[in-house]
Amino acid sequence: MTTRTENTVVTGLGVVAPNGLGTEEFWTATLKGISGIDRISRYDPSGYPSPLAGEVLDFNASDHLSNRMLPQTDRMTQMALAASDWALSDAGVDPAAMPEFDMGVVTASASGGFEFAQNELQMPLLAIHGELDTIIPLDACERMLEWAEGKTELILYPGERHVATNYFGDFIPRFCDWMSEQLGVTGH
């Protein structure tokens, strides 16, 4: 076991939360017992068991990110980037003035990428699933296809486990051979 002798120091905080944007607003609301939990307003919650959630309503990504970043990032990522920027500012750090690799930013989120995933599910979707996969159950893959609004197709790859197990081995050539066979393509 390796023992680290370096100390870690938290020098800045950046908060994007349902009960406040920025450390000061968040902490003031927390001390007053304001949770930020309210009726869901970003979509119709009537089909769900609870209509309540902690939404971040006052966050406008264009106030914090370049126009180039906006279409490339999900709302959760946008909030994380803004919070990271606020943490650096809170610490009095100018990233441009720091030597490369001399600092780090730690972010945490309970979840993320839902809106991006929702947009992706509106496009044609081809799912490839290993028949023996025990990491992502087949029924989870099938449910994803049910949620998709575009054209969908599921290819069950016989005898294969989770793709990651063979990704750097023989999976890709074997899959290409299998796919060629399915499409009736001869030669490579």
Q: Name the domain boundary from 52, 84, 112.
A: 112
- Same domain? For 28 and 78 the reply is yes
- Is 24's pLDDT higher than 90? yes
Which of 121 and 83 is assigned the larger pLDDT? Answer: 83
Domain that holds residue 100: 16-112
In a domain, 91, yes or no: yes
What confidence score (pLDDT) does residue 164 get? 45
Which of 174 and 33 is assigned the larger pLDDT? Answer: 33
Contact between 15 and 108 under an 8 Å Cβ cutoff? The reply is no
Question: Which residues on neighbouring strands pair with residue 21, listed in sequence order?
Answer: 16
The dihedrals phi and psi of 126, each to the nearest 5 degrees, come to: -110, 120
- Same domain? For 32 and 81 the reply is yes
Report the distance separating Cα 140 and Cα 14, nearest Å: 35
The dihedrals phi and psi of 8, each to the nearest 5 degrees, come to: -105, 135
Report the distance separating Cα 24 and Cα 17, nearest Å: 11
- Same domain? For 86 and 125 the reply is no
- Same domain? For 74 and 23 the reply is yes
- Is 51's pLDDT higher than 90? yes
CATH of the domain at 106: 3.40.47.10
Range from 31-35, 122-126, 142-146, 183-187 carrying the lowest mean pLDDT: 122-126
Count how many domains the chain has: 2
What confidence score (pLDDT) does residue 11 get? 82
In a domain, 163, yes or no: yes
Contact between 116 and 74 under an 8 Å Cβ cutoff? The reply is yes
pLDDT in tens, 94-121: 888 988 887 776 666 666 677 766 666 6
**pTM beyond 0.85, yes or no:** no
